[in-house]
A and B are shown apart, each in its own frame.
Chain A
Amino acid sequence: MATANLAARRRTVNNVMTGVLWAAALSIIVLLAFFVGYILYLGAPVISWHFLTAPPSELAAGGGIGPEIFNSFYILILTLIFTTPIATAGGIYLQEYARPGIFTSAVQFCAESLATIPSIVMGLFGLLVFVTLLHWHFTALGGALTLTILNLPALMRVTQEALQTVPSTFREGSMALGATKWQTIRRVVLPSAIAPLTTGIVLIAGRIFGETAALIFTAGVSVSAGRSAYDFGLFHQAETLSVHLWYVHSEGLVPDAAQVGNGSALVLLVMVLIFNIGARLLGYALHKRLTGK
Protein backbone atom coordinates (compact mmCIF):
# COMPACT_ATOMS: atom_id res chain seq x y z
CA MET A 1 0.00 0.00 0.00
CA ALA A 2 2.04 2.89 -1.30
CA THR A 3 -0.56 5.51 -0.45
CA ALA A 4 -0.86 4.29 3.12
CA ASN A 5 2.91 4.46 3.46
CA LEU A 6 2.92 7.91 2.01
CA ALA A 7 0.18 9.11 4.32
CA ALA A 8 2.08 7.71 7.28
CA ARG A 9 5.24 9.46 6.18
CA ARG A 10 3.45 12.77 5.73
CA ARG A 11 1.98 12.37 9.19
CA THR A 12 5.41 11.65 10.65
CA VAL A 13 6.98 14.67 8.96
CA ASN A 14 4.13 16.81 10.21
CA ASN A 15 4.51 15.56 13.76
CA VAL A 16 8.27 15.95 13.76
CA MET A 17 8.12 19.50 12.44
CA THR A 18 5.40 20.40 14.92
CA GLY A 19 7.65 19.08 17.66
CA VAL A 20 10.61 21.06 16.36
CA LEU A 21 8.60 24.29 16.34
CA TRP A 22 7.30 23.64 19.85
CA ALA A 23 10.84 23.06 21.02
CA ALA A 24 12.05 26.27 19.37
CA ALA A 25 9.31 28.30 21.00
CA LEU A 26 9.76 26.77 24.43
CA SER A 27 13.50 27.28 24.23
CA ILE A 28 12.83 31.02 23.97
CA ILE A 29 11.06 30.92 27.32
CA VAL A 30 13.75 28.72 28.82
CA LEU A 31 16.41 31.08 27.45
CA LEU A 32 14.75 34.12 29.00
CA ALA A 33 14.21 32.38 32.33
CA PHE A 34 17.79 31.21 32.30
CA PHE A 35 19.14 34.71 31.54
CA VAL A 36 17.11 36.23 34.33
CA GLY A 37 18.11 33.46 36.74
CA TYR A 38 21.77 33.66 35.83
CA ILE A 39 21.99 37.45 36.16
CA LEU A 40 20.15 37.18 39.47
CA TYR A 41 22.58 34.52 40.64
CA LEU A 42 25.59 36.65 39.68
CA GLY A 43 24.27 39.98 40.84
CA ALA A 44 22.31 39.29 44.00
CA PRO A 45 25.33 38.88 46.30
CA VAL A 46 26.65 42.24 45.14
CA ILE A 47 23.54 44.26 45.82
CA SER A 48 23.56 46.26 49.02
CA TRP A 49 22.36 49.68 50.10
CA HIS A 50 25.94 50.89 49.83
CA PHE A 51 26.33 49.53 46.27
CA LEU A 52 23.10 51.13 45.12
CA THR A 53 23.83 54.57 46.55
CA ALA A 54 27.59 55.08 46.80
CA PRO A 55 29.57 56.84 44.07
CA PRO A 56 31.76 54.68 41.85
CA SER A 57 35.41 54.27 42.50
CA GLU A 58 38.09 54.82 39.88
CA LEU A 59 40.89 52.69 41.25
CA ALA A 60 40.04 50.98 44.51
CA ALA A 61 37.46 48.29 45.02
CA GLY A 62 34.15 48.95 46.76
CA GLY A 63 32.63 51.56 44.49
CA GLY A 64 28.86 51.86 44.07
CA ILE A 65 26.54 52.83 41.26
CA GLY A 66 24.36 55.49 42.93
CA PRO A 67 25.10 58.38 40.59
CA GLU A 68 24.81 56.09 37.56
CA ILE A 69 21.31 55.04 38.54
CA PHE A 70 20.42 58.66 39.09
CA ASN A 71 21.89 59.70 35.73
CA SER A 72 20.02 56.95 33.91
CA PHE A 73 16.73 58.29 35.24
CA TYR A 74 17.77 61.89 34.75
CA ILE A 75 18.65 61.38 31.07
CA LEU A 76 15.56 59.24 30.59
CA ILE A 77 13.31 61.98 31.94
CA LEU A 78 15.06 64.68 29.91
CA THR A 79 14.70 62.56 26.78
CA LEU A 80 11.01 61.94 27.42
CA ILE A 81 10.43 65.66 28.01
CA PHE A 82 11.93 66.41 24.59
CA THR A 83 10.59 63.42 22.70
CA THR A 84 7.02 63.03 23.84
CA PRO A 85 5.57 66.36 22.63
CA ILE A 86 7.35 66.22 19.28
CA ALA A 87 6.56 62.57 18.68
CA THR A 88 2.91 62.78 19.68
CA ALA A 89 2.44 65.90 17.57
CA GLY A 90 4.14 64.19 14.65
CA GLY A 91 2.12 61.03 15.13
CA ILE A 92 -1.15 62.94 15.37
CA TYR A 93 -0.29 64.88 12.24
CA LEU A 94 0.60 61.77 10.25
CA GLN A 95 -2.39 59.78 11.43
CA GLU A 96 -5.16 62.40 11.54
CA TYR A 97 -4.19 65.23 9.21
CA ALA A 98 -1.67 64.13 6.63
CA ARG A 99 -2.96 63.28 3.20
CA PRO A 100 -0.99 60.82 1.12
CA GLY A 101 1.54 62.79 -0.91
CA ILE A 102 5.18 63.42 -1.46
CA PHE A 103 5.62 65.22 1.86
CA THR A 104 3.94 62.54 3.92
CA SER A 105 5.82 59.69 2.31
CA ALA A 106 9.06 61.66 2.69
CA VAL A 107 8.37 62.01 6.42
CA GLN A 108 7.53 58.33 6.66
CA PHE A 109 10.67 57.40 4.79
CA CYS A 110 12.84 59.58 7.02
CA ALA A 111 11.26 58.08 10.12
CA GLU A 112 11.87 54.55 8.86
CA SER A 113 15.47 55.27 7.92
CA LEU A 114 16.09 57.06 11.20
CA ALA A 115 14.79 54.00 13.01
CA THR A 116 17.29 51.75 11.22
CA ILE A 117 20.39 53.87 11.82
CA PRO A 118 22.65 52.09 14.30
CA SER A 119 22.71 53.83 17.65
CA ILE A 120 26.49 54.01 17.59
CA VAL A 121 26.27 56.07 14.39
CA MET A 122 23.74 58.30 16.11
CA GLY A 123 26.21 58.59 18.98
CA LEU A 124 28.88 59.85 16.63
CA PHE A 125 26.46 62.38 15.21
CA GLY A 126 25.76 63.56 18.77
CA LEU A 127 29.49 63.74 19.36
CA LEU A 128 29.95 65.94 16.30
CA VAL A 129 27.09 68.29 17.05
CA PHE A 130 26.95 68.61 20.81
CA VAL A 131 30.49 67.85 21.86
CA THR A 132 32.66 69.14 19.04
CA LEU A 133 30.58 71.75 17.22
CA LEU A 134 28.84 73.35 20.20
CA HIS A 135 31.79 72.75 22.57
CA TRP A 136 29.56 71.41 25.30
CA HIS A 137 31.89 68.46 25.93
CA PHE A 138 30.24 65.39 27.41
CA THR A 139 26.94 66.49 28.90
CA ALA A 140 23.69 65.08 30.20
CA LEU A 141 21.85 67.41 27.83
CA GLY A 142 23.86 66.27 24.79
CA GLY A 143 23.15 62.66 25.69
CA ALA A 144 19.45 63.30 26.13
CA LEU A 145 19.21 65.18 22.84
CA THR A 146 20.98 62.36 21.00
CA LEU A 147 18.55 59.86 22.50
CA THR A 148 15.72 62.17 21.48
CA ILE A 149 16.69 61.90 17.82
CA LEU A 150 17.27 58.18 18.20
CA ASN A 151 13.85 57.47 19.70
CA LEU A 152 11.63 59.95 17.88
CA PRO A 153 10.67 57.57 15.08
CA ALA A 154 9.75 54.75 17.44
CA LEU A 155 7.63 57.02 19.60
CA MET A 156 5.97 58.56 16.57
CA ARG A 157 5.09 55.09 15.41
CA VAL A 158 3.67 54.18 18.79
CA THR A 159 1.47 57.29 18.65
CA GLN A 160 0.28 56.44 15.16
CA GLU A 161 -0.52 52.87 16.11
CA ALA A 162 -2.33 53.98 19.26
CA LEU A 163 -4.48 56.38 17.22
CA GLN A 164 -5.22 53.63 14.74
CA THR A 165 -6.88 51.62 17.48
CA VAL A 166 -9.57 54.31 17.86
CA PRO A 167 -12.57 53.33 15.72
CA SER A 168 -13.48 55.91 13.10
CA THR A 169 -17.06 55.88 14.40
CA PHE A 170 -15.79 57.80 17.45
CA ARG A 171 -14.46 60.54 15.21
CA GLU A 172 -17.60 60.63 13.09
CA GLY A 173 -19.76 60.74 16.19
CA SER A 174 -17.93 63.76 17.53
CA MET A 175 -17.76 65.57 14.20
CA ALA A 176 -21.48 64.98 13.72
CA LEU A 177 -22.10 66.93 16.93
CA GLY A 178 -20.38 69.90 15.33
CA ALA A 179 -16.99 69.53 17.00
CA THR A 180 -13.98 70.77 15.10
CA LYS A 181 -11.28 68.37 14.06
CA TRP A 182 -8.95 69.53 16.82
CA GLN A 183 -11.69 69.32 19.45
CA THR A 184 -12.41 65.80 18.25
CA ILE A 185 -8.79 64.77 18.52
CA ARG A 186 -8.27 66.46 21.85
CA ARG A 187 -11.46 65.31 23.57
CA VAL A 188 -12.36 62.04 21.89
CA VAL A 189 -9.49 60.47 19.98
CA LEU A 190 -6.57 61.08 22.35
CA PRO A 191 -8.41 59.99 25.51
CA SER A 192 -9.51 56.78 23.76
CA ALA A 193 -5.94 56.08 22.65
CA ILE A 194 -4.39 56.78 26.01
CA ALA A 195 -3.95 53.16 27.10
CA PRO A 196 -1.91 51.89 24.13
CA LEU A 197 -0.09 55.22 24.00
CA THR A 198 1.02 54.93 27.62
CA THR A 199 2.04 51.30 27.21
CA GLY A 200 4.10 52.24 24.16
CA ILE A 201 5.80 55.18 25.84
CA VAL A 202 6.75 53.17 28.92
CA LEU A 203 8.14 50.36 26.77
CA ILE A 204 10.27 52.86 24.87
CA ALA A 205 11.31 54.42 28.17
CA GLY A 206 12.65 50.99 29.09
CA ARG A 207 14.72 50.98 25.94
CA ILE A 208 16.02 54.50 26.56
CA PHE A 209 17.00 53.41 30.05
CA GLY A 210 19.17 50.64 28.64
CA GLU A 211 20.62 52.55 25.68
CA THR A 212 24.37 52.65 25.72
CA ALA A 213 26.12 53.06 22.39
CA ALA A 214 24.65 56.49 21.69
CA LEU A 215 25.66 57.77 25.12
CA ILE A 216 29.31 56.78 25.40
CA PHE A 217 30.49 59.66 23.24
CA THR A 218 27.81 62.16 24.19
CA ALA A 219 27.08 61.91 27.91
CA GLY A 220 30.48 60.50 28.76
CA VAL A 221 31.85 57.62 30.75
CA SER A 222 32.31 59.17 34.15
CA VAL A 223 30.22 60.99 36.70
CA SER A 224 31.16 64.59 37.41
CA ALA A 225 34.14 64.39 39.70
CA GLY A 226 34.03 66.29 42.95
CA ARG A 227 30.38 67.21 42.65
CA SER A 228 27.51 65.77 44.58
CA ALA A 229 26.56 62.31 43.48
CA TYR A 230 23.14 63.51 42.45
CA ASP A 231 23.93 66.19 39.96
CA PHE A 232 21.21 67.97 38.03
CA GLY A 233 23.69 69.95 35.95
CA LEU A 234 22.54 69.81 32.34
CA PHE A 235 26.06 70.51 31.14
CA HIS A 236 27.86 68.05 33.39
CA GLN A 237 29.13 64.62 32.40
CA ALA A 238 26.55 62.02 33.20
CA GLU A 239 27.54 58.38 32.89
CA THR A 240 24.46 56.16 32.98
CA LEU A 241 24.22 52.70 34.48
CA SER A 242 24.37 50.87 31.16
CA VAL A 243 27.40 52.88 30.08
CA HIS A 244 28.98 52.07 33.41
CA LEU A 245 28.49 48.36 32.84
CA TRP A 246 30.30 48.63 29.54
CA TYR A 247 32.97 50.91 30.96
CA VAL A 248 33.99 48.82 33.97
CA HIS A 249 34.57 45.89 31.71
CA SER A 250 36.24 47.61 28.78
CA GLU A 251 38.20 50.48 30.21
CA GLY A 252 37.79 50.41 33.97
CA LEU A 253 40.68 49.91 36.33
CA VAL A 254 38.91 48.80 39.50
CA PRO A 255 39.85 45.32 40.72
CA ASP A 256 36.26 44.40 41.51
CA ALA A 257 35.02 45.18 37.97
CA ALA A 258 33.33 41.78 37.73
CA GLN A 259 31.29 42.38 40.89
CA VAL A 260 30.34 45.90 39.84
CA GLY A 261 29.38 44.54 36.43
CA ASN A 262 27.28 41.73 37.89
CA GLY A 263 25.45 44.14 40.17
CA SER A 264 24.89 46.68 37.40
CA ALA A 265 23.60 44.01 35.02
CA LEU A 266 21.12 42.88 37.65
CA VAL A 267 19.87 46.40 38.35
CA LEU A 268 19.48 47.02 34.59
CA LEU A 269 17.59 43.79 34.12
CA VAL A 270 15.29 44.46 37.05
CA MET A 271 14.58 47.94 35.69
CA VAL A 272 13.73 46.52 32.28
CA LEU A 273 11.38 44.02 33.90
CA ILE A 274 9.76 46.81 35.92
CA PHE A 275 9.30 48.93 32.80
CA ASN A 276 7.80 46.03 30.86
CA ILE A 277 5.46 44.85 33.57
CA GLY A 278 4.65 48.44 34.54
CA ALA A 279 3.75 49.26 30.95
CA ARG A 280 1.31 46.39 30.85
CA LEU A 281 -0.26 47.11 34.23
CA LEU A 282 -0.59 50.81 33.46
CA GLY A 283 -2.11 50.15 30.07
CA TYR A 284 -4.48 47.65 31.59
CA ALA A 285 -5.54 50.00 34.39
CA LEU A 286 -6.12 52.89 31.99
CA HIS A 287 -8.07 50.68 29.65
CA LYS A 288 -10.20 49.46 32.51
CA ARG A 289 -10.94 52.96 33.75
CA LEU A 290 -11.81 54.10 30.26
CA THR A 291 -14.13 51.27 29.35
CA GLY A 292 -15.48 50.77 32.86
CA LYS A 293 -14.85 47.04 32.59
Chain B
Amino acid sequence: MTTTTEIKMCVEDLNVYYGSFHAIKDASLQVPENGVMALIGPSGCGKSTFIRALNRMHDLVPDVTVQGRVTLDGEDIYAKDVDPVTIRHRIGMVFQRPNPFPKSIFENVAYGPRIHGVRSRKRLLEIAERSLRHAALWDEVKDRLDKSALELSGGQQQRLCIARVLAVEPEVILMDEPASALDPIATSKIEDLIGDLKKDYTVVIVTHSMQQAARISDNTAFFLMGELIEIGPTRDIFFKPQDKRTEDYITGRYG
Protein backbone atom coordinates (compact mmCIF):
# COMPACT_ATOMS: atom_id res chain seq x y z
CA MET B 1 0.00 0.00 0.00
CA THR B 2 1.36 3.36 -0.99
CA THR B 3 1.55 6.13 1.50
CA THR B 4 3.39 8.55 -0.76
CA THR B 5 1.37 10.79 -3.03
CA GLU B 6 1.48 9.12 -6.42
CA ILE B 7 -0.64 11.08 -8.91
CA LYS B 8 -3.48 8.91 -10.24
CA MET B 9 -5.35 11.40 -12.40
CA CYS B 10 -4.32 14.73 -13.76
CA VAL B 11 -6.59 17.37 -15.27
CA GLU B 12 -5.12 20.18 -17.33
CA ASP B 13 -7.04 23.21 -18.59
CA LEU B 14 -10.39 21.47 -18.70
CA ASN B 15 -13.23 23.36 -20.38
CA VAL B 16 -16.76 22.03 -20.71
CA TYR B 17 -19.53 23.65 -22.73
CA TYR B 18 -23.24 22.84 -22.83
CA GLY B 19 -24.03 24.20 -26.27
CA SER B 20 -22.71 27.75 -25.91
CA PHE B 21 -22.83 27.79 -22.10
CA HIS B 22 -19.34 27.67 -20.61
CA ALA B 23 -19.80 25.32 -17.64
CA ILE B 24 -16.18 24.62 -16.62
CA LYS B 25 -13.48 27.21 -17.15
CA ASP B 26 -9.83 26.20 -17.36
CA ALA B 27 -9.83 23.82 -14.43
CA SER B 28 -6.60 22.02 -13.58
CA LEU B 29 -6.00 19.65 -10.68
CA GLN B 30 -4.26 16.47 -9.68
CA VAL B 31 -5.87 13.52 -7.94
CA PRO B 32 -3.49 11.63 -5.65
CA GLU B 33 -3.71 7.85 -5.56
CA ASN B 34 -5.47 6.07 -2.70
CA GLY B 35 -7.09 9.07 -1.20
CA VAL B 36 -10.44 10.77 -1.14
CA MET B 37 -10.77 14.02 -2.98
CA ALA B 38 -13.90 16.06 -2.33
CA LEU B 39 -15.33 18.56 -4.81
CA ILE B 40 -17.39 21.22 -3.06
CA GLY B 41 -19.17 24.38 -4.05
CA PRO B 42 -22.66 25.88 -4.23
CA SER B 43 -25.16 24.14 -6.47
CA GLY B 44 -24.70 24.97 -10.13
CA CYS B 45 -20.98 25.63 -9.65
CA GLY B 46 -20.00 22.88 -12.09
CA LYS B 47 -18.72 20.24 -9.69
CA SER B 48 -21.00 17.54 -11.14
CA THR B 49 -20.10 18.61 -14.66
CA PHE B 50 -16.46 18.36 -13.70
CA ILE B 51 -16.66 14.87 -12.23
CA ARG B 52 -18.59 13.57 -15.23
CA ALA B 53 -15.74 14.70 -17.46
CA LEU B 54 -13.38 12.37 -15.57
CA ASN B 55 -14.84 9.18 -17.07
CA ARG B 56 -16.23 10.63 -20.29
CA MET B 57 -19.88 10.46 -19.26
CA HIS B 58 -20.45 13.61 -21.30
CA ASP B 59 -19.94 11.50 -24.42
CA LEU B 60 -23.44 10.13 -23.87
CA VAL B 61 -25.10 13.51 -24.23
CA PRO B 62 -25.20 15.44 -27.48
CA ASP B 63 -24.26 19.13 -27.44
CA VAL B 64 -21.62 18.83 -24.73
CA THR B 65 -18.07 19.79 -25.69
CA VAL B 66 -15.09 18.85 -23.54
CA GLN B 67 -11.68 20.43 -24.14
CA GLY B 68 -8.41 19.94 -22.31
CA ARG B 69 -6.43 17.00 -21.07
CA VAL B 70 -7.46 14.41 -18.54
CA THR B 71 -4.93 11.68 -17.83
CA LEU B 72 -5.16 8.40 -15.97
CA ASP B 73 -1.72 7.09 -15.00
CA GLY B 74 -0.31 9.53 -17.52
CA GLU B 75 -2.50 8.36 -20.41
CA ASP B 76 -4.85 10.92 -21.97
CA ILE B 77 -8.36 9.48 -21.68
CA TYR B 78 -9.65 11.83 -24.40
CA ALA B 79 -6.99 10.76 -26.91
CA LYS B 80 -8.38 9.73 -30.28
CA ASP B 81 -7.46 6.06 -30.07
CA VAL B 82 -8.84 5.59 -26.55
CA ASP B 83 -12.12 3.73 -26.21
CA PRO B 84 -14.33 5.45 -23.62
CA VAL B 85 -15.70 2.03 -22.72
CA THR B 86 -12.34 0.81 -21.41
CA ILE B 87 -11.88 4.11 -19.58
CA ARG B 88 -15.19 3.66 -17.76
CA HIS B 89 -14.11 0.12 -16.90
CA ARG B 90 -11.13 1.59 -15.04
CA ILE B 91 -12.97 4.61 -13.64
CA GLY B 92 -16.30 3.64 -12.11
CA MET B 93 -19.06 6.01 -11.08
CA VAL B 94 -21.76 6.14 -8.41
CA PHE B 95 -24.61 8.53 -9.01
CA GLN B 96 -26.65 10.94 -6.94
CA ARG B 97 -29.77 8.81 -6.93
CA PRO B 98 -29.33 5.08 -6.43
CA ASN B 99 -29.91 3.52 -9.85
CA PRO B 100 -30.02 -0.25 -9.44
CA PHE B 101 -31.14 -2.06 -12.58
CA PRO B 102 -34.59 -3.64 -12.39
CA LYS B 103 -33.00 -7.03 -11.86
CA SER B 104 -32.19 -9.21 -8.85
CA ILE B 105 -29.59 -8.13 -6.30
CA PHE B 106 -27.19 -10.78 -7.58
CA GLU B 107 -27.74 -9.83 -11.22
CA ASN B 108 -26.98 -6.20 -10.40
CA VAL B 109 -23.58 -7.05 -8.98
CA ALA B 110 -22.89 -9.73 -11.58
CA TYR B 111 -23.75 -7.36 -14.44
CA GLY B 112 -20.33 -5.70 -14.61
CA PRO B 113 -18.21 -8.88 -14.50
CA ARG B 114 -20.59 -10.49 -17.00
CA ILE B 115 -20.21 -7.74 -19.59
CA HIS B 116 -16.47 -7.98 -19.11
CA GLY B 117 -16.53 -11.63 -19.98
CA VAL B 118 -16.90 -13.59 -16.72
CA ARG B 119 -19.16 -16.56 -17.45
CA SER B 120 -18.79 -19.04 -14.62
CA ARG B 121 -21.60 -18.82 -12.10
CA LYS B 122 -19.30 -19.87 -9.30
CA ARG B 123 -16.86 -17.11 -10.10
CA LEU B 124 -19.71 -14.58 -10.37
CA LEU B 125 -21.01 -15.62 -6.95
CA GLU B 126 -17.54 -15.16 -5.47
CA ILE B 127 -17.25 -11.70 -6.98
CA ALA B 128 -20.74 -10.79 -5.81
CA GLU B 129 -20.04 -11.88 -2.25
CA ARG B 130 -16.72 -10.10 -2.11
CA SER B 131 -18.15 -6.87 -3.54
CA LEU B 132 -21.23 -6.93 -1.34
CA ARG B 133 -19.08 -7.57 1.75
CA HIS B 134 -16.80 -4.74 0.76
CA ALA B 135 -19.83 -2.46 0.38
CA ALA B 136 -21.02 -3.55 3.85
CA LEU B 137 -24.24 -4.93 2.42
CA TRP B 138 -23.61 -8.69 2.45
CA ASP B 139 -25.14 -9.44 5.83
CA GLU B 140 -28.32 -7.62 4.92
CA VAL B 141 -28.90 -9.30 1.56
CA LYS B 142 -27.14 -12.67 1.63
CA ASP B 143 -30.43 -14.56 2.08
CA ARG B 144 -32.25 -12.80 -0.72
CA LEU B 145 -29.81 -12.39 -3.56
CA ASP B 146 -32.51 -13.42 -6.03
CA LYS B 147 -34.98 -10.75 -4.87
CA SER B 148 -35.43 -7.61 -6.94
CA ALA B 149 -32.97 -4.86 -6.13
CA LEU B 150 -35.86 -2.41 -6.15
CA GLU B 151 -37.16 -3.92 -2.90
CA LEU B 152 -34.14 -2.58 -1.00
CA SER B 153 -34.23 0.68 0.92
CA GLY B 154 -32.62 3.76 -0.62
CA GLY B 155 -29.46 3.42 1.46
CA GLN B 156 -29.15 -0.27 0.64
CA GLN B 157 -29.71 0.47 -3.03
CA GLN B 158 -26.87 2.98 -2.98
CA ARG B 159 -24.54 0.50 -1.31
CA LEU B 160 -25.61 -2.03 -3.93
CA CYS B 161 -24.63 0.46 -6.62
CA ILE B 162 -21.25 0.83 -4.93
CA ALA B 163 -20.88 -2.97 -4.79
CA ARG B 164 -21.80 -3.05 -8.47
CA VAL B 165 -18.92 -0.68 -9.23
CA LEU B 166 -16.50 -2.62 -6.98
CA ALA B 167 -17.34 -5.83 -8.84
CA VAL B 168 -15.64 -4.57 -12.01
CA GLU B 169 -12.50 -3.69 -9.98
CA PRO B 170 -11.96 -0.14 -11.18
CA GLU B 171 -8.95 1.92 -10.17
CA VAL B 172 -10.83 5.12 -9.52
CA ILE B 173 -14.35 5.53 -8.16
CA LEU B 174 -16.21 8.75 -8.90
CA MET B 175 -19.15 9.58 -6.67
CA ASP B 176 -21.63 12.30 -7.54
CA GLU B 177 -23.32 13.31 -4.27
CA PRO B 178 -23.89 9.65 -3.38
CA ALA B 179 -25.63 10.40 -0.09
CA SER B 180 -27.77 13.38 -1.01
CA ALA B 181 -30.92 11.30 -1.43
CA LEU B 182 -30.40 9.32 1.79
CA ASP B 183 -31.32 9.70 5.46
CA PRO B 184 -28.63 10.45 8.07
CA ILE B 185 -28.13 6.83 9.15
CA ALA B 186 -27.73 5.59 5.59
CA THR B 187 -25.45 8.56 4.92
CA SER B 188 -23.13 7.69 7.78
CA LYS B 189 -22.92 4.10 6.52
CA ILE B 190 -21.89 5.36 3.09
CA GLU B 191 -19.33 7.68 4.67
CA ASP B 192 -17.79 4.83 6.69
CA LEU B 193 -17.66 2.81 3.52
CA ILE B 194 -15.84 5.56 1.63
CA GLY B 195 -13.26 5.77 4.40
CA ASP B 196 -12.73 2.05 3.95
CA LEU B 197 -12.56 2.19 0.15
CA LYS B 198 -9.63 4.56 -0.03
CA LYS B 199 -7.31 1.80 1.13
CA ASP B 200 -7.73 0.13 -2.26
CA TYR B 201 -9.14 2.79 -4.54
CA THR B 202 -8.81 6.40 -5.49
CA VAL B 203 -12.07 8.16 -4.72
CA VAL B 204 -13.35 11.47 -6.08
CA ILE B 205 -16.58 12.61 -4.49
CA VAL B 206 -18.87 15.55 -5.18
CA THR B 207 -20.70 16.71 -2.13
CA HIS B 208 -22.86 19.67 -1.21
CA SER B 209 -22.18 19.11 2.47
CA MET B 210 -19.04 20.76 3.83
CA GLN B 211 -19.24 18.62 6.97
CA GLN B 212 -19.17 15.54 4.82
CA ALA B 213 -16.17 16.80 2.89
CA ALA B 214 -14.42 17.60 6.17
CA ARG B 215 -15.20 14.17 7.63
CA ILE B 216 -14.15 11.93 4.78
CA SER B 217 -11.75 13.65 2.40
CA ASP B 218 -8.00 14.11 2.32
CA ASN B 219 -8.06 16.82 -0.31
CA THR B 220 -10.73 19.31 -1.25
CA ALA B 221 -11.35 21.36 -4.38
CA PHE B 222 -13.66 24.36 -4.23
CA PHE B 223 -15.61 25.32 -7.37
CA LEU B 224 -17.54 28.53 -7.97
CA MET B 225 -19.40 29.41 -11.16
CA GLY B 226 -17.47 26.97 -13.27
CA GLU B 227 -14.09 27.96 -11.94
CA LEU B 228 -11.80 25.93 -9.72
CA ILE B 229 -11.05 28.50 -7.03
CA GLU B 230 -8.84 26.62 -4.67
CA ILE B 231 -7.50 23.14 -4.04
CA GLY B 232 -5.47 21.68 -1.22
CA PRO B 233 -5.44 19.37 1.76
CA THR B 234 -8.90 19.41 3.31
CA ARG B 235 -7.58 20.73 6.63
CA ASP B 236 -6.00 23.73 4.89
CA ILE B 237 -9.09 24.52 2.81
CA PHE B 238 -11.28 24.56 5.88
CA PHE B 239 -8.97 26.24 8.40
CA LYS B 240 -6.75 28.54 6.37
CA PRO B 241 -8.28 29.14 2.95
CA GLN B 242 -6.12 31.21 0.65
CA ASP B 243 -8.89 32.74 -1.38
CA LYS B 244 -11.49 35.15 -0.03
CA ARG B 245 -14.25 33.38 -1.95
CA THR B 246 -13.39 30.01 -0.40
CA GLU B 247 -13.48 31.57 3.02
CA ASP B 248 -16.85 33.18 2.31
CA TYR B 249 -18.26 29.82 1.23
CA ILE B 250 -16.78 27.88 4.16
CA THR B 251 -18.13 30.39 6.62
CA GLY B 252 -21.54 30.22 5.02
CA ARG B 253 -21.74 33.47 3.14
CA TYR B 254 -23.02 31.84 -0.06
CA GLY B 255 -26.47 30.23 -0.17
Contact = CB atoms under 8 A, between A and B. Distances in A.
**A contacts B: CB pair < 8 Å:** yes
Interface of A: 2-3, 6-7, 10-11, 14
A14 B84 CA distance: 13
A6 B117 contact: yes
A6 B116 contact: yes
A15 to B, nearest CB: 11
A3 B169 CA distance: 13
B236 interface: no
B117 A11 contact: no
Interface of B: 83, 85-86, 115-117
Contacts of A11: 83, 85
13 contacts: A2-B117, A3-B116, A3-B117, A6-B116, A6-B117, A7-B83, A7-B85, A7-B86, A10-B85, A10-B115, A11-B83, A11-B85, A14-B85
Task: Sort A-B residue pairs by CB-CB distance and give the 6 closest, nearest first.
Answer: A6-B117, A7-B86, A11-B83, A6-B116, A11-B85, A7-B83
Contacts, number: 13
B245 to A, nearest CB: 36
A218 B86 CA distance: 64
A3 B115 CA distance: 12
B171 to A, nearest CB: 14
A14 B115 CA distance: 12
A10 B115 CA distance: 9
Given A3-B117, A10-B115, 5 more contacts: A2-B117, A3-B116, A7-B83, A10-B85, A14-B85
A8 to B, nearest CB: 9
Contacts of B115: 10
Contacts of B117: 2-3, 6
A293 B86 CA distance: 46
Contacts of B86: 7
A84 to B, nearest CB: 39
A10 B116 CA distance: 9
A46 B117 CA distance: 62
A6 B114 CA distance: 12
A191 B33 CA distance: 61
B111 to A, nearest CB: 14
A7 B85 CA distance: 9
A217 to B, nearest CB: 47
A284 to B, nearest CB: 23
A253 to B, nearest CB: 59
Contacts of B85: 7, 10-11, 14
Nearest to B89: A7
Contacts of A7: 83, 85-86
A10 B118 CA distance: 13
